[in-house]
Structure 1
Amino acid sequence: MFKKNILKNFYSIYAEQYVLSSLILYNNSWNDIYFFLNVNNFYFKNHQLIFSIILELLNLNIKFDIYSIFNRVKVYSDFNFLIYLNYIIQKIPNPCDILYYSRIIHNMFLLRKILFFSNNILNDILKKNKLNVSEILTSIEIGLFDITKNYLKEKSDSYLLSNIFDKIFLSYNSFKNFYVSTGFKNLDKILKKIGGGDLIIIAGRPSMGKTSFSLNIAKNVSEEYNLPVIIFSMEMSSSQVLTKLLSCILDKNQDFIINIFENKIINNFDENYLKIIYSLKIFIDETVNLNIFQMYTKCKFLIKEHGSLGLIVIDYLQLMNSPNQNQNRVLEISEISRSLKCLAKELNVPIIAISQLNRNLESRNNKRPVISDLRESGSIEQDADIVLFLYRDEIYDSENLLNKNLVEVIVSKHRNGPIGTAELYFFNDKSKFSDFY
């Protein structure tokens, strides 16, 4: 527990009194601070109580003064609030300064959270005989995520319609950076482009090419826009992901790539291909049992290091861990999908999450997937902006040569546009997709 002389540097009684008196004298000044100031931001209990009463009156759309506040607050305490309220309004604040003092209150609150959080971590480490570093780091990540998401942004999340119009249509660079192409013309005809904040689910039965398709999009985004892309591969190792990517880039089968690795035949690489490989800003993270907090931390680090992030790929959604491990796996997956959508919006980056399908479709005559086939779907279909299903008829009818290397990308959900089917070629041995003409 901290001594009071330490905490005195982490609150401002003057700022708290100033904000309360400003609200009492100028009820409308609440409009300047409503988007971030909360009851728990105040350090003093009496101030929390007064502020909660003010919030109650504001929600009821009732004009208030010290007497209306006193009539409600006196039932909670023996403290003489009337004298105190009279005292603080004598400061006669300028309502223009309420935002400044509210920021002080909010920042002091966050500093206290950081202080207590750091102290708790230190105590946990000192008390435990056996230290689990992974467990400690996860605890730190969760705590930091909780503090960071409460950090006051420089502006509100609400924007005037005309400002949004100006941002998108009058600034070419802003418009260009906000959207990325999949790299496939037939698919882009339906989707147009995928934008920051979009959660895209790519699903299909085994052997449909889900991972290869996602890697192809990742390569296209990094190559065309020169943007960093991160791939969270919880199923395959980084070397396996690299093999698939190189097969696609070099247009060579995976056995050829593996042979180069095993025999270290670097001369087999064309110089132009080497330039492509070294120019791509693709990061591969093979952390197992990944949770949303770890993902958030890693993505924020990349954005800090490189200034931006073009795409996040998760292979695959059902291998992620939920911080709240419920017995019901469907609820866990639902929580994960909601968190991914929030993460995409928070970072303003599109997220591709690969998902499994249940086996129900195998008993149907028409084995093309539908949204209800999503495994442990829960709210996946609700959270996703785009749902893509990959279907290869040659898996079920290998003798029909017309189906050879043909894959259907079925757009079953498209929040901001039409649905439909795009046909692509898929060369499985090269992990490569190309447009179907």
Structure 2
Amino acid sequence: MITERGLPPQNIEAEMSILGGILVENAAIATVDEFLTQEAFYREGHRQIFKAMAGLCNRNEPVDLVTLSTELARMGALEEVGGASYLATLVDFVPMAANIAFYCRIVAEKAQERRLIAKAQEAVRIIYDGGTLEKAVEKLEHAIQPAIEKRSTAPVGMGEAVRDAIRRIEKRYEAKGDVQGLPYGLPALDKATSGMHSGELIIIAGRPSMGKTALGVNILANACTSGKSALLFTLEMSRVDIVERLAAGHGIKYQNIRSGQLGDAEWSKLAKVMGNIYGWKLSIDDTPAIGLREMRAKAYRQKREGLDLIVIDYLQLMALSDPKISRVQGLGEISRGLKQLARELDISIVALAQLSRAVDARNDKRPIMSDLRDSGEIEQDADVILFPYRPAAYCEQCKNRTDDARHTYRVHQAKAEIIIEKQRAGERNISVAACWLGEYQRFEAI
């Protein structure tokens, strides 16, 4: 505990140097704002002084001993911070205003250390109070994540931005038309989208039995086969079900796997397939009704070991952060969180989603953007939206397995397309033809 080891981490001299630096050079507060918030200061008096300084700067008023004393008196905090005499010591204390960024880094690090200690103590209390290990670990992960993240939020000048753009264009040129991101595994789809790019949120949406889970599993298999590292959150199926689907995708009839009625050749092939799958860098989490916060923690933990792709099956089954908010609002928060997570981890996130029944009531069954169930902000946050569509799912003749001069059951069953409804960095409202192999739960190129 803190009381056993003295005061929490702090550096009062650095805090005084920051405040004194602002008094000497008002423009320095812009540098401070890049590193610190009011809460980063350990001493409460320093928090009040910084708050008063920020208020003066926001009103375009000078920050000096007179104006600062007046502002603190108006706030009723002048005596609390030590009076005008203490403010005068700040001016005399600062070594050099030019070093203010260095002092800010010291104060920010001490503030992070205090937050880490506080969260660790909360985790200890949870254990002593009989709470679950999961809750204690969650507290620790929330403290550790900000400490290990390395994100630059400083604005970038046009010179650097142009150089980055040229480097990316040159890299594309050198690829000679090859897929730039992770391939979907369908050449026509890869050509139309240039693959899945880091930082992108990709939504695959469809009605039941359209093959959205199969497409998600196909994408996983394609990524893992090429040596990429992936994480699957499956909220609807168990991890064993997923492995069976992965095996079927390698040319073993899914129904035979489900029934266990495999011939000698299929058993031999299954053994070989399972041996290959065993070596994949794929982790499967089948926690039901997982929430965004828990998913985020697990993704960060996996990223430390290597992570290129996350697939979520499916969006509407995720738990909301607050049961009191509407489903639309809750899913909007989830989609925004997933988009942010994709950018923070610099990976692709593929989230499967359910379409509403509205599509079933129309004569034209091809899905459109507004069919996204509880869509909220999903269509806004997504970089790419794909609709797998199989017309045979609505065909009465296929339901009856009719074969005649006008209709061939197996041919119609195999017809499929992937509709690119949205693509932030490319052409939209286009369709890519595919072949649906239902007995293997797989989409293939035509």
Q: Which amino acid aligns with 2:419?
A: I
Label 1:157 to 1:142 Cα distance change in 2 as closer, same or farther (>3 A): farther
1:378 Cα shift? 1.4
Q: Which residue of 2 aligns with 1:253?
A: 253
Q: Structure 2 CA distance, aligned partners of 1:99 and 1:55?
A: 17
Within 5 Å, which residues of 2 pair with 1:51-66?
A: 51-66=50-65
1:293 Cα shift? 2.2
Shifted more, 117-126 versus 169-178: the winner is 169-178
1:392 Cα shift? 0.8
Deviations 1:288-340 (A, max 9, x none): 1211222222222222123xx11100001111112322242222222211111
Deviations 1:216-247 (A, max 9, x none): 111212223x2201111111111110111111
Label 1:168 to 1:10 Cα distance change in 2 as closer, same or farther (>3 A): same
Deviations 1:400-430 (A, max 9, x none): 4463312221111212221011111111110
- Alignment gaps of 5+ in structure 2: none
Q: Which residue of 1 aligns with 2:389?
A: 391
**Residue 417 (structure 2) pairs with residue 417 (structure 1):** no
Q: Which residue of 2 aligns with 1:227?
A: 228
- Is the 8 Å Cα contact of residues 204 and 387 (structure 2) preserved in structure 1? yes
User: Secondary structure, in 3 states, of the residue corresponding to 2:155?
Assistant: coil
**Residue 287 (structure 2) pairs with residue 269 (structure 1):** no
User: Secondary structure, in 3 states, of the residue corresponding to 1:8?
Assistant: coil
Q: Structure 2 CA distance, aligned partners of 1:394 and 1:41?
A: 61
Which of 313, 316, 322 is residue 314 of structure 2 equivalent to? Answer: 316
Q: For the aligned residues, what is the CA RMSD?
A: 3.0
Which of 343, 359, 367 is residue 345 of structure 1 equivalent to? Answer: 343
Label 1:237 to 1:271 Cα distance change in 2 as closer, same or farther (>3 A): closer
1:280 Cα shift? 2.6
**Residue 145 (structure 2) pairs with residue 144 (structure 1):** no
**Residue 433 (structure 2) pairs with residue 432 (structure 1):** no
Shifted more, 75-84 versus 9-18: the winner is 75-84
Q: Which amino acid aligns with 1:341?
A: K
Label 1:152 to 1:313 Cα distance change in 2 as closer, same or farther (>3 A): closer
User: Secondary structure, in 3 states, of the residue corresponding to 1:252?
Assistant: coil
- Is the 8 Å Cα contact of residues 106 and 152 (structure 1) preserved in structure 2? no
Q: Structure 2 CA distance, aligned partners of 1:33 and 1:109?
A: 14
Q: Which residue of 1 aligns with 2:305?
A: 305
Within 5 Å, which residues of 2 pair with 1:42-191?
A: 42-75=41-74, 76-79=76-79, 80-128=82-130, 131=131, 133=132, 136-138=133-135, 140-141=137-138, 144-145=141-142, 148-149=145-146, 153=150, 155-156=152-153, 158-167=155-164, 169-170=166-167, 179-191=181-193
Q: Structure 2 CA distance, aligned partners of 1:173 and 1:323?
A: 43
Q: Structure 1 CA distance, aligned partners of 2:61 and 2:355?
A: 53
- Is the 8 Å Cα contact of residues 127 and 136 (structure 2) preserved in structure 1? no
1:259 Cα shift? 6.4
- Is the 8 Å Cα contact of residues 420 and 431 (structure 2) preserved in structure 1? yes
Q: Structure 1 CA distance, aligned partners of 2:420 and 2:69?
A: 59
- Is the 8 Å Cα contact of residues 326 and 332 (structure 1) preserved in structure 2? no
1:199 Cα shift? 0.9
User: Secondary structure, in 3 states, of the residue corresponding to 1:425?
Assistant: strand
Q: Which residue of 1 aligns with 2:289?
A: 289
User: Secondary structure, in 3 states, of the residue corresponding to 2:432?
Assistant: strand
Label 1:86 to 1:341 Cα distance change in 2 as closer, same or farther (>3 A): same
Q: Which residue of 2 aligns with 1:218?
A: 220
**Residue 416 (structure 2) pairs with residue 407 (structure 1):** yes
- Is the 8 Å Cα contact of residues 313 and 351 (structure 2) preserved in structure 1? yes
1:164 Cα shift? 4.2
Deviations 1:9-28 (A, max 9, x none): 41111111011111221223
User: Secondary structure, in 3 states, of the residue corresponding to 1:35?
Assistant: helix
- Is the 8 Å Cα contact of residues 247 and 274 (structure 2) preserved in structure 1? no
Q: Which residue of 2 aligns with 1:40?
A: 39
Q: Structure 2 CA distance, aligned partners of 1:252 and 1:429?
A: 8
- Is the 8 Å Cα contact of residues 36 and 152 (structure 1) preserved in structure 2? no
- Is the 8 Å Cα contact of residues 78 and 84 (structure 2) preserved in structure 1? no
Q: Structure 2 CA distance, aligned partners of 1:142 and 1:289?
A: 20
Q: Structure 2 CA distance, aligned partners of 1:95 and 1:125?
A: 46
Q: Which residue of 2 aligns with 1:376?
A: 374
Label 1:167 to 1:327 Cα distance change in 2 as closer, same or farther (>3 A): closer
Q: Structure 2 CA distance, aligned partners of 1:356 and 1:20?
A: 54
- Is the 8 Å Cα contact of residues 123 and 135 (structure 2) preserved in structure 1? no
Q: Which residue of 1 aligns with 2:19?
A: 20
Q: Which amino acid aligns with 2:68?
A: I
1:178 Cα shift? 7.9
Label 1:283 to 1:237 Cα distance change in 2 as closer, same or farther (>3 A): same
1:287 Cα shift? 1.2
User: Secondary structure, in 3 states, of the residue corresponding to 1:314?
Assistant: strand
Q: Structure 1 CA distance, aligned partners of 2:370 and 2:444?
A: 28
1:200 Cα shift? 0.9
- Alignment gaps of 5+ in structure 1: none
Q: Which amino acid aligns with 1:67?
A: V
Label 1:336 to 1:71 Cα distance change in 2 as closer, same or farther (>3 A): same
Deviations 1:153-186 (A, max 9, x none): 3743533344345446537999899832222221
1:260 Cα shift? 6.6
Aligned residues: 426
User: Secondary structure, in 3 states, of the residue corresponding to 1:404?
Assistant: helix
1:146 Cα shift? 5.9
Within 5 Å, which residues of 2 pair with 1:231-246?
A: 231-246=232-247
- Is the 8 Å Cα contact of residues 217 and 246 (structure 2) preserved in structure 1? yes
Label 1:93 to 1:365 Cα distance change in 2 as closer, same or farther (>3 A): same
Q: Which amino acid aligns with 1:98?
A: I
Label 1:346 to 1:371 Cα distance change in 2 as closer, same or farther (>3 A): same
Which of 323, 326, 340 is residue 325 of structure 1 equivalent to? Answer: 323
